[in-house]
C-alpha cells in the first residue's frame, strides 16, 4: 500500500506556475505513512477531553482510541461511558511538529458512516496572528456527516467573532456509492490568494480573497493538521437507533508536496443529452501524453490527445477518464458524470392564472398582482402574470414567498428536480435572477444561516418571454436541512441599484419523466397511501382503492429498484417496507394495479 517512507521536514511551501515542468514535478516534503505500531509523537499530539468542543459534541477524546494497524491510522468512535460522556473517540494534531504555509496537502481516507458521525481532516492556524477563531482562519480539507453519506464538504472559516463568524465552501456529491465504501484521496492545493479542493484529483471548489471580502483573507500564515472523529454535534445531530458502533476513520497516509499535480475539472452533472461539455486536465504541459476514455453512450467530439476534451452525452452517464504520461510519471484521473433525467412539469409554485401554494409576504419594489400579459406569444400565452418594478434604492431587492409545497429540497440540489421561471424584462441580456430556498427561523440570523440552497439564471432575451432554468448554485448553510425549507426568495439583478421592470410567471417545479408507463398512469391519491411521509425507519403502503395491487416497487430518484413486493395487496390491506438502512432523501413508490394501470407517489426519508 505504501510507496515510500520519508523523514520529517517542517518547511514553508510555495507553489509556482500553472503547468508542471520537469523541474517542477511535485516533491514530497512531509509525510506520515503510519507504518509503525504506535502513533509517531514526533509528528502528532493528542487532544484530549470532552465538553462539547464548541459544537455540542458528545464524545470524550482519548489516546486509546488511536491505533496503528497494517499501515493504517485508525481512529475509533465507541459507545462507552467515560468521564461524563456517552461516547469516546480520538483527535490528533500536528501543531509545532508539522506546520505549513502553502503547498498540496492530501490524505487517503476511508470514512465511517451513520447518523451522528462526523469525521474531519482539517487545518487550523498555528500562531493565531489575526486573533482567535475565526479571525485567523480555519481550512477544512474534508468534512463529512453521516446523515449525508454521499456528500463531502470543503470549507474556509473567517471573519469576526461568533455569532457573526463567516464561512465559504463547496460540496462534492458522489452520486453513486457513499464515501464509506472505499478509500478516497482528499486534498487542497493552497497558494497565495487561492485554495483549491480535490477529491481523487478532481477539482470541485476554489476560493480566493474575493470570496471573503470585505473580511480579511487570513490564509497566509502557518497552519497545522487535525484528524478527528466526532460523535454528535449541532451540525450532524446525535446518533440514533440506526447508528452502529464502533465506527472507524481509517487513514492510509497524510502527505504534503511543494507544488500542484495534474487534476481534472469539468461538469459532474450534465443535462439530458447535453450536446457539448468540456473536461480539462489542469496543470498539464506541452510534453504530456493524454489519452481520454468516455462511457458508452457518450461521444468525443474533439480534443482526444489534448488537455481539453469535448463530449456529447446521451441519456446515461459514466466515468470520464484521462491517462497522463509525462516526465513525472504516469497517472490516471477520472470522475463519474451523471446525466440528468429528462424532466417534465410537476407542480406550479407561482402561477397568476391559478391558485398558488406560495404566499407573497414582502417585496422591496413595486408589485402588481394578476397583471395583463404584455405579450401573449411564444412560450407564455397566459392572460395574467406578475409585474415587478425593482427598487432602485435597494442593493439586494427581494420578493419573499412563504409556504412549504416541497417536502425535500435534496433532489433539487442533486439536479434530479429543477426550477423554471418565465421572465419578460426590459433589463439587458445577461441579467442575473437568483432564487433562494430558506428556513425562515434560521434565516433571522446573519447570512448564510438558514439559506439552504440557491439557484441562478441569466436572461438571454430582452422584451420577450423566455423560460429560464434556475440552475443549482450552492448551499450557503449546510446546517439547514432539506426538509425544513418554508420560505423562497426571488432576487432580480441582486447587488445592484437598478430599477428595471420584470414580468414573471410559471415558477414551476420539474421532475423526472417516468418513461414507459406515462400512458398508464393514474392518480395515486385514489390508489394508495404512504405513511409516515416524511418518515424515518418505517414505511407503510395502504391500498385505499377498490382493486388489488399486484406489485409495489420502491425506487431511487435515478430509477434504480431498491425493493419489490410481488404478493398482491388487497383493498384496505397494509404492506410494510424495511427502509431503516436507506440514506436520507427522496424515493418513488410505484404500484401496479390489477387492471395494468400504474400509480406513483414520492416518499421522503427525513430527519
CA dihedral 173, 184, 205, 219 (to 10 degrees): 140
Residue 33 annotated as catalytic: no
Catalytic residue among 106, 143, 191, 340: 143
Beta-carbon contacts of residue 402 (< 8 Å; ≥ 6 apart): 358, 359, 361, 440, 486, 487, 488
Instruction: Tell me how far CA of residue 505 lies from CA of 277, 348, 349, 365, 386, in angstroms.
Output: 30, 10, 10, 17, 6
CA distance 419 to 470: 5
| Cell numbers representing residue 229 in the block | 472523529
**Cβ proximity of 276 and 247 under 8 Å:** no
DSSP output for 359-418: EEEEESSEEEEEEEPS--BTTB--SEEEEEE--TT-TT--EEEE----S--HHHHTTSSE
Tell the burial category of 227 from Cβ atoms under 10 Å away from its Cβ (0-12, 13-18, 19+).
buried
Phi, psi of 22 (to 5 degrees): -60, -35
Catalytic residue among 33, 138, 189, 350: 138
| Cell numbers representing residue 429 in the block | 441580456
Largest Cα separation within the chain, whole Å, is 77
Residue 138 annotated as catalytic: yes
DSSP annotation of 80 reads E
Place of cell 463547496: 170
Residues identified as active-site? 138, 143
Amino acid at each position: 500500500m505504501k510507496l515510500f517512507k520519508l523523514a520529517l521536514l517542517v518547511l514553508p511551501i510555495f507553489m509556482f506556475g500553472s503547468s508542471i515542468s520537469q523541474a517542477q514535478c511535485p516533491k514530497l516534503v512531509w509525510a506520515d505513512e503510519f507504518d509503525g505500531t504506535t502513533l509517531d509523537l514526533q509528528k502528532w499530539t493528542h487532544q484530549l477531553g470532552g465538553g462539547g468542543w464548541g459544537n455540542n459534541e458528545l464524545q470524550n477524546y482519548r489516546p486509546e482510541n488511536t491505533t496503528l494497524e497494517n499501515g493504517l491510522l485508525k481512529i475509533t468512535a465507541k459507545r462507552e461511558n467515560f468521564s461524563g460522556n456517552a461516547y469516546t473517540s480520538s483527535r490528533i494534531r500536528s501543531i509545532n511538529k508539522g506546520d505549513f504555509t502553502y503547498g498540496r496537502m492530501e490524505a487517503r481516507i476511508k470514512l465511517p458512516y451513520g447518523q451522528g458521525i462526523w469525521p474531519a481532516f482539517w487545518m487550523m492556524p498555528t500562531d493565531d496572528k489575526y486573533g482567535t477563531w475565526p479571525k485567523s482562519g480555519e481550512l477544512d480539507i474534508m468534512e463529512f456527516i453521516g446523515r449525508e453519506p454521499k456528500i463531502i464538504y470543503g470549507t474556509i472559516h473567517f471573519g469576526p467573532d461568533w455569532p457573526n463568524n463567516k464561512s465559504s465552501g463547496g460540496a462534492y456529491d458522489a452520486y453513486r456509492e457513499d464515501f464509506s465504501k472505499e478509500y478516497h484521496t482528499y486534498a487542497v492545493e493552497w497558494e497565495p490568494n487561492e485554495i483549491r479542493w480535490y477529491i481523487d484529483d478532481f477539482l470541485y471548489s476554489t476560493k480566493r480573497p474575493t470570496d471573503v471580502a470585505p473580511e480579511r483573507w487570513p490564509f497566509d500564515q502557518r497552519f497545522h493538521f487535525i484528524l478527528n472523529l466526532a460523535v454528535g454535534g449541532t451540525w450532524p445531530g446525535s446518533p440514533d437507533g440506526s447508528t452502529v458502533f464502533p465506527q472507524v476513520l481509517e487513514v492510509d497516509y497524510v502527505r504534503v508536496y511543494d507544488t500542484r499535480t495534474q487534476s481534472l475539472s469539468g461538469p459532474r452533472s450534465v443535462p439530458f443529452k447535453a450536446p457539448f461539455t468540456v473536461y480539462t486536465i489542469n496543470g498539464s504541459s506541452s510534453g504530456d501524453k493524454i489519452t481520454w476514455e468516455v462511457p458508452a453512450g457518450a461521444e468525443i467530439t474533439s480534443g482526444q490527445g489534448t488537455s481539453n476534451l469535448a463530449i456529447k452525452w446521451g441519456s446515461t452517464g459514466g466515468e470520464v477518464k484521462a491517462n497522463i504520461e509525462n516526465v513525472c510519471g504516469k497517472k490516471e484521473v477520472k470522475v463519474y458524470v451523471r446525466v440528468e433525467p429528462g424532466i417534465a412539469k410537476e407542480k406550479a409554485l407561482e402561477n397568476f392564472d391559478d391558485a398558488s401554494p406560495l404566499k407573497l409576504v414582502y417585496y422591496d419594489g413595486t408589485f402588481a398582482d394578476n397583471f395583463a400579459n404584455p405579450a401573449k406569444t411564444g412560450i407564455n400565452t397566459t392572460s395574467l402574470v406578475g409585474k415587478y418594478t425593482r427598487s432602485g434604492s435597494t442593493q439586494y431587492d427581494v420578493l419573499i414567498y412563504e409556504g412549504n409545497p416541497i417536502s425535500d429540497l435534496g433532489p433539487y440540489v442533486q439536479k434530479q428536480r429543477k426550477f423554471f421561471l418565465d421572465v419578460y424584462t426590459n433589463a439587458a441580456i445577461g441579467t442575473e435572477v437568483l432564487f433562494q430556498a430558506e428556513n425562515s427561523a434560521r434565516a433571522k440570523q446573519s447570512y448564510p444561516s438558514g439559506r439552504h440552497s440557491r439557484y441562478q439564471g441569466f436572461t438571454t432575451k430582452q422584451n420577450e418571454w423566455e423560460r429560464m432554468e434556475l440552475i443549482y448554485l450552492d448551499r450557503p448553510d449546510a446546517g439547514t436541512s432539506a426538509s425544513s425549507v418554508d420560505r423562497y426568495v426571488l432576487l432580480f439583478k441582486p447587488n445592484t441599484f437598478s430599477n428595471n421592470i420584470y414580468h414573471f410567471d410559471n415558477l414551476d417545479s420539474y421532475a423526472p419523466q417516468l418513461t414507459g408507463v406515462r400512458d398508464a398512469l393514474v392518480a395515486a391519491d385514489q390508489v394508495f397511501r404512504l405513511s409516515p411521509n416524511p418518515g424515518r425507519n418505517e414505511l407503510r403502503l395502504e391500498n385505499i382503492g377498490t382493486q388489488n395491487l399486484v406489485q409495489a416497487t420502491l425506487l431511487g430518484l435515478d430509477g434504480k429498484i431498491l425493493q419489490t413486493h410481488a404478493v398482491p395487496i388487497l383493498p384496505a390491506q397494509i404492506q410494510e417496507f424495511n427502509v431503516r438502512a436507506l440514506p436520507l432523501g427522496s424515493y418513488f413508490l410505484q404500484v401496479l394495479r390489477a387492471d395494468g394501470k400504474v400509480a406513483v407517489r414520492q416518499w421522503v426519508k427525513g430527519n
